[in-house]
Amino acid sequence: MGVGHGHGHAAGQDGGHAASRAADRGRLVKVLAVTASVMVIEVIGAWVTGSLALLADAGHMATDASAVLIALSASYVATRPPGPRATFGLHRAEILAALVNAVVLLGVCGWLAWAAIGRLRDPEPVHGSGMVGFALLGLLANLVALAILVRADRSSLNIRGAFLEVATDTLGSVLALVAGAVIWLTGFDRADALASLAIAVLILPRSISLIRDSAAVLLETAPKGLDLADVRRHLARLPGVVEVHDLHAWTITSGMPSLSAHVTVTDERLAEQGVGAVLDELSACVGEHFGIRHATFQVEPQSHREHEDLGEPGCS
């Protein structure tokens, strides 16, 4: 007697998720325009001043622009309805995009570290005052992008990735600004390489964090903060529930946790309340206590228990 439940809740959540994604797409388009503008400004600035820090920030901006473009593409793809093969739709496209962005960021981080170390050994002249001017323009543009994204839904890995990238770019612009001021006032050209190295250090942890979180979704591990033993205990306390097994939880995409379970219920409870009432109780339990709206339960009468494989082959 396998019955899925919670579809009404799921539809409402999907609608809210879609509306939130549409609003976030508008913000991402604005951020893309700002990011591309900053990238052009800093490329020109790096060429005029000879600054590696500005070039590093421009390279990071190029990565950010491509990251936002990928995020936008993934967000549009994710709105396509489910099909006979992609039964959950293409929500995972957002997670794949976040993973690609993180891997590219790691590559940028490695290149920046290598170039900065080379500049530390053999410094090149940098135009400090010009570097300050271009870094200041980049800082102002990044602050505009942050203002756009601060109201977005950062539970989405894509939005979170874009926000973290712009936030780190803002710090990068500050570092370039400080390095330019030091060079302008003291002539210490190695400040440019030190700023570049610092930018590389800033990129590393967020790249690793995005890779870890994306991999957790793709590997279908239980959502962060969800204790399956606690879920099992809550379900087992419901009237008539004898056993909960084959309990699984995973994340379809950011903000969309899912759960499935086989629940053995006494024949008396099923005869008294009916399967529908039992399913209502199970769905309400995981929805109210754990915030899970995508849940599927297979309800099994206790008398049918001997026909259910409860363990590994060969086990009783």
> What is the average per-residue pLDDT within 73-77?
68
- On the question of pLDDT at 266 being above 90, the answer is yes
Burial pattern 224-261, b for ≥16 Cβ within 10 A else e, equals eebebeebeebbeebebbebbeebebbbbbbbbbbbeb
CATH code of residue 107: 1.20.1510.10
Domain boundary among 192, 218, 244: 218
pLDDT of 4 over the 60 cut: no
Per residue in 145-157, pLDDT tens? Answer: 888 877 766 566 6
- Round the average pLDDT of the chain to a whole number and report it: 81
In a domain, 296, yes or no: yes
Place of tokens 């060429």: 47
CATH of the domain at 251: 3.30.70.1350
Residue 103 included in any domain? yes
Mean pLDDT across the stretch 4-13? 44
Average pLDDT over residues 63-88: 70
Domain membership of residue 29 as a residue range: 18-218
In the block, tokens 């206790």 appear at 302
Task: State which of 170, 191, 218 marks the end of a domain.
Answer: 218
Please write the tens of the pLDDT for every residue from 127-179: 889 999 999 988 898 888 888 877 766 566 667 767 777 787 788 889 899 99
pTM (two decimals): 0.69
Per residue in 35-44, pLDDT tens? 888 888 888 9
Three-state secondary-structure class, residue 106: helix
Percent of the chain with pLDDT over 90: 26
Q: Which of 218, 241, 271 is the last residue of a domain?
A: 218
Q: In the structure, what pLDDT confidence band is assigned to residue 31 with cuts at 50, 70 and 90? A: confident
